[in-house]
């Protein structure tokens, strides 16, 4: 788990899940962030089996049910940031402007 800043809000309990093919955010999280749900659009694609620098944009699927986490960052996030997770040490590494960035878990 990590505590990223998404938009202007710091979210806690965000799961990084290399087994998920989607980045998921829950409708309740959008409400907490003050994002109007009228601004989102449906994709029509079903899903199941969900177990300082340059700004990047991530696309999230919004789930209308309550989850344990505020969001789930899947393989699409890893690809976007060229990140490599290490589940044994609960760390995420990615290239940065001055070398490798290591993100420790907030668990």
Would you place residue 56 in the very low, low, confident or very high pLDDT band (cuts 50, 70, 90)? Answer: low
Please provide residue 77's backbone torsions phi and psi, each rounded to the nearest 5 degrees.
Answer: -70, -45
User: Which pLDDT belongs to residue 107?
Assistant: 59
Which residue range forms the structural domain that includes residue 21? Answer: 5-81
pLDDT digit string, tens, across residues 9-22: 888 888 888 888 88
Q: Would you say the pTM of this structure is higher than 0.75? A: no
Contacts of 1 (CB under 8 A, 6+ apart): 13, 14, 15, 16, 69, 105, 106, 107
| 76 falls within a domain | yes
| 102 falls within a domain | no
User: Which pLDDT belongs to residue 53?
Assistant: 53
User: Which pLDDT belongs to residue 11?
Assistant: 83
| 99 falls within a domain | no
Instruction: Give the number of domains in the chain.
Output: 1
| 98 falls within a domain | no
| 96 falls within a domain | no
| 61 falls within a domain | yes
User: Which pLDDT belongs to residue 42?
Assistant: 75
């Amino acid at each position: 788990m990590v505590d990223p800043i998404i938009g202007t809000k710091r979210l806690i309990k965000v799961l990084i899940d290399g087994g998920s093919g989607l980045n998921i955010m829950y409708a309740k999280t959008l409400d907490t962030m003050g994002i109007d749900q009228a601004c989102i659009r449906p994709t029509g694609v079903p899903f199941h089996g969900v177990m300082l620098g340059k700004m990047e944009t991530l696309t999230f699927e919004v789930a209308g049910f309550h989850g344990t986490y505020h969001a789930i960052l899947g393989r699409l996030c890893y690809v976007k940031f060229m990140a490599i997770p290490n589940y044994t040490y609960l760390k995420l590494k990615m290239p940065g402007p001055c070398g490798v960035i290591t993100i420790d878990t907030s668990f």
